[in-house]
Structure 1
Amino acid sequence: MPGVALGPGDSLLPGAPRGPGAPPSPGVTNLALPPAEAAQPVQPAPGLRPAGWVRDPFFRDYRDGMRALLARRPEHAAGPLRRVLERARRDDRPERLLRAAAAALLLGDVHAARTAGARALAAARTTECAALEARALEYLAYGELRAGRHAQARAHAEEGVRAALLAGHRNTAASHHAMLALAASIEGDTAAVAGYASAALATARRHGLAQAATLAEWAIARADLARGRPLDAADRLGPLVGPGPRRGHFAVWMLAVPCFVEAAVLAGQPEDATDVVGDLARWASFGADPHAPAQHARCRALLAADDREADDLYLRALALHDESGGDFERARTELLYGRWLRRRRRLREARGRLGAALVGFDRCGAGAWADQTRGELRANGAASGKEPAVGLSGLTPQQLRIARHVAEGATNREVAQRLAVSTRTVDYHLRNVFAALGVRSRIELARMVDQEQRQDQRQEQR
């Protein structure tokens, strides 16, 4: 975590030695922290002596919450960390707001983390402190990354690199470069991934920044996976997520586990992924990552030997995606499920899932993943017309109602209000409508609805 400490000189970086030759804390596997400026532990706030630092209620709660997590007692951490968030609402000092952002991320409250990070950024800019600005942007970028908003994460990281270099904080710049590599791995820009990852790794390896190094390696592997090179991805991620001296930082290597499981299964080595799924289950139950439960269900589906179990797990993963949001992760699950269905000759179902995946990837600018999905659609017979898109008559009654409201110009929120359902439910059904009809936009949908209505009217006049 950028410059955050329990007390003067006591690093809270999970896995960081507490003294010369000291082993990692046994409790670090319960932490989910943003990339760290490990070489620069933050001293107490100005005007506070070390003894006063721990008597201050804000810092005492922060310390107690972190220590409870390190002791693997999260039930004792939630109260103090929530009090940190509550006190930070009335405080504009950037150091405290950064700690509040850290507490929010540990509680799985990405919205609160983004709010605290944005306030810290505003305070840093008011004081014209480039170092604090770079750290606040780091929290914001990491929070957006955790929320699945990769374009926003990239924008914060680009600003963060400039601020960190201006302040002379190369470690923070390395973390930002690693996050830029991750954003580029979604877009499929192989050259950008290589450039950003190389910049991150050059500093991370020299200064022992485990988190930045793991993020950069994950970005390279995810780019390999997007380009259809699962064996390369599995070879790169295996040492980072498995036991041993090369294992990456838990705060970020657990985020890479779903990629490793997918890569190992697609490379024909599912047995290599079995053990880490148990780690992923514990991570999902901790609650700090909103996408982890859906990813865990997807990983279990990939490894399931029984078709009925796999089918149920894919559907469960998609239902969990509806709760957590995020186009990219949901599209990945749709792609894997569609591929699985196609190999079992369930072609119509496969086309619907693959079409929904394509819509999701296009929406978040994941070009390489979209190309991979188009390849699956061609293999499924979509390009040759063997499995043509259905018309409005092929939609379910709920899908048809939503399609007609959208064709009239209603927003998803307005449709939800008219049908007395959640906006997320409308999003889900609309993705399936797009996939079933073979359309890519609301304009295309409106055109198709209008054409079919005109055809119906002509038939009635006859």
Structure 2
Amino acid sequence: FGEETGHAIWVAAATIVQARLAAMRGNFEAAEAHAVRAERLVLSPGSSFWLAMLENARGIAALGAGRPAEAYEHLQRVHTPGDPAFNTSLQFYWLVDYVEAAASCGQEAAALSIIEEVERHSAPVAVPWVQMMLYHGKALLASPNRAEMFFQRGLGTAAQNWPFLRARLLLAYGGWLRRQRRIAEARVPLRTAREVFDALGASPWSERARLELRAAGEATRPRAELILDALTPQELQIAELAAGGLSNKEIGARLYLSHRTVGYHLHRVFPKLGITARAGLRAALDRTPQAPDLRRRSAE
């Protein structure tokens, strides 16, 4: 749409999203290619919002690739006054990315300062997913006798509709438990994290969970070929709603789509699932090895 109408900023926005998704799936070359393309479109005065989005995409790619120092270089720009990518309105969205990168390269004081700032600005409105990220960040920086309290508080927030963030918290908690030699306890959150990352197609984090599980003495299966590798997130959501008995019109009302658009997506879904009619959706989805709770949330 952006290319057809000549709106370069919408092309940039879509390309930045593509960069982040590629990074989350472990396709780092594609992520950087998208980032380079987007950078050419957003390098103009007053574009701090899009530059911040771009730096986050590059930061998450570096984190996924196991390069925390590089990730920190990208992510700290969003928090540095005077930097072209400085943008206070976006800082809290990527708090966990920033704190994880900072803590991994000796910048704990900078991370704590940002946590305090985000906490101060978010205090009037207790948004569950922001609370979860704050507790996650605090847990990463806390002493051993306080870290578990923050992990537990983070997992106790009502942020069930943010599976990637929650799975990262579970991964961090499981890794912390393992390092405390609480091996049996560590396996439970690590298994859940692995299942969610698999379902999301977040390969770098899936592999981290597997490495932690192996370190905890548990052999892990190779990543299964998951339905989300074939379906887009929107296709999966529509398929789940249709499998739950909703009509195209009802699905459209829920997702703000026309019923024709819903029908179009369903006809793309059928061959991907190896079915020819709506009646086969439930069985096809139930055969996939996704985490059941994640599938259920996509239908909410």
Using the size of structure 2 for normalisation, the TM-score is 0.69
Once residues 225 and 254 of structure 1 are traced to their aligned partners in structure 2, the CA distance between those partners, rounded to angstroms, is 17
Paired residue for 2:151? 314
Q: What SS class does the counterpart of residue 310 from structure 1 fall into?
A: helix
Q: What SS class does the counterpart of residue 206 from structure 1 fall into?
A: coil
Could you report, residue by residue, the CA deviation over 1:25-76 in whole angstroms, capped at 9, with x for unpaired residues?
xxxxxxxxxxxxxxxxxxxxxxxxxxxxxxxxxxxxxxxxxxxxxxxxxxxx
Paired residue for 1:211? 49
Could you report, residue by residue, the CA deviation over 1:351-407 in whole angstroms, capped at 9, with x for unpaired residues?
1111111011011111111011111111222129xxxxxxxxxxxxxxxxxxxxxxx
Once residues 314 and 370 of structure 1 are traced to their aligned partners in structure 2, the CA distance between those partners, rounded to angstroms, is 20
Once residues 126 and 19 of structure 2 are traced to their aligned partners in structure 1, the CA distance between those partners, rounded to angstroms, is 23
- Contact 2:12-2:41 at 8 Å conserved across structures: yes
Could you report, residue by residue, the CA deviation over 1:102-122 in whole angstroms, capped at 9, with x for unpaired residues?
xxxxxxxxxxxxxxxxxxxxx
- Contact 2:187-2:216 at 8 Å conserved across structures: yes
Paired residue for 1:330? 166
CA change 1:216–1:245 in 2 (3 A) is closer
Q: Give 5+ residue unaligned stretches, structure 2.
A: 221-243, 245-288, 293-300
- Aligned-pair distance for 1:274? 1.4
| Coordinate RMSD, CA, aligned | 2.3
The answer to whether structure 1 residue 199 and structure 2 residue 37 are counterparts is: yes
- Aligned-pair distance for 1:324? 4.3
The answer to whether structure 1 residue 292 and structure 2 residue 130 are counterparts is: yes
- Aligned-pair distance for 1:288? 8.8
- Aligned-pair distance for 1:173? 1.4
CA change 1:323–1:267 in 2 (3 A) is same
Q: What SS class does the counterpart of residue 192 from structure 1 fall into?
A: helix
Once residues 276 and 164 of structure 1 are traced to their aligned partners in structure 2, the CA distance between those partners, rounded to angstroms, is 35
Once residues 373 and 168 of structure 1 are traced to their aligned partners in structure 2, the CA distance between those partners, rounded to angstroms, is 43
The answer to whether structure 1 residue 245 and structure 2 residue 79 are counterparts is: no
- Aligned-pair distance for 1:218? 0.4
- AA paired with 1:194? E
Once residues 218 and 244 of structure 1 are traced to their aligned partners in structure 2, the CA distance between those partners, rounded to angstroms, is 17
The answer to whether structure 1 residue 178 and structure 2 residue 27 are counterparts is: no
Please give the residue correspondences for 1:127-146 in structure 2 after superposition, counting only pairs within 5 Å: none
CA change 1:209–1:243 in 2 (3 A) is closer
Q: What SS class does the counterpart of residue 43 from structure 2 fall into?
A: helix
Once residues 15 and 64 of structure 2 are traced to their aligned partners in structure 1, the CA distance between those partners, rounded to angstroms, is 20
- Aligned-pair distance for 1:203? 1.2
Once residues 291 and 52 of structure 2 are traced to their aligned partners in structure 1, the CA distance between those partners, rounded to angstroms, is 40
- AA paired with 1:329? L
Q: Give 5+ residue unaligned stretches, structure 1.
A: 1-162, 385-412, 414-439, 444-462
Q: Which has the larger radius of gyration?
A: 1
Once residues 92 and 102 of structure 2 are traced to their aligned partners in structure 1, the CA distance between those partners, rounded to angstroms, is 15
Once residues 274 and 285 of structure 1 are traced to their aligned partners in structure 2, the CA distance between those partners, rounded to angstroms, is 16
Paired residue for 1:271? 109
Paired residue for 1:381? 217
Could you report, residue by residue, the CA deviation over 1:201-225 in whole angstroms, capped at 9, with x for unpaired residues?
1111135421111111101111111
Paired residue for 2:69? 231
- AA paired with 1:308? N
- Aligned-pair distance for 1:326? 1.8
CA change 1:268–1:345 in 2 (3 A) is farther
Q: How many pairs align? A: 225
- Contact 2:16-2:34 at 8 Å conserved across structures: yes
Could you report, residue by residue, the CA deviation over 1:131-173 in whole angstroms, capped at 9, with x for unpaired residues?
xxxxxxxxxxxxxxxxxxxxxxxxxxxxxxxx01111111221
- Aligned-pair distance for 1:246? 4.2
Once residues 145 and 166 of structure 2 are traced to their aligned partners in structure 1, the CA distance between those partners, rounded to angstroms, is 21
Q: What SS class does the counterpart of residue 198 from structure 1 fall into?
A: helix
- Contact 1:284-1:296 at 8 Å conserved across structures: no
Paired residue for 1:254? 92
Once residues 288 and 168 of structure 1 are traced to their aligned partners in structure 2, the CA distance between those partners, rounded to angstroms, is 40
- Contact 1:228-1:372 at 8 Å conserved across structures: no
CA change 1:442–1:169 in 2 (3 A) is closer
- AA paired with 2:196? G
Could you report, residue by residue, the CA deviation over 1:412-449 in whole angstroms, capped at 9, with x for unpaired residues?
x9xxxxxxxxxxxxxxxxxxxxxxxxxx6689xxxxxx
Using the size of structure 1 for normalisation, the TM-score is 0.46
- AA paired with 2:71? A
- Contact 1:241-1:256 at 8 Å conserved across structures: no
Once residues 118 and 90 of structure 2 are traced to their aligned partners in structure 1, the CA distance between those partners, rounded to angstroms, is 12
Higher relative contact order (CA 8 A, sep 6+): 2
CA change 1:316–1:290 in 2 (3 A) is closer
- Aligned-pair distance for 1:229? 1.5
Match of 2:177 among 322, 341, 344: 341
Match of 2:208 among 365, 369, 372: 372
- AA paired with 2:40? A
- Aligned-pair distance for 1:185? 2.3
CA change 1:341–1:241 in 2 (3 A) is same
Segments of 4+ moved more than 6 angstroms: none
Please give the residue correspondences for 1:63-102 in structure 2 after superposition, counting only pairs within 5 Å: none
Once residues 286 and 223 of structure 1 are traced to their aligned partners in structure 2, the CA distance between those partners, rounded to angstroms, is 32
- Contact 1:227-1:372 at 8 Å conserved across structures: no
- Contact 1:188-1:226 at 8 Å conserved across structures: yes
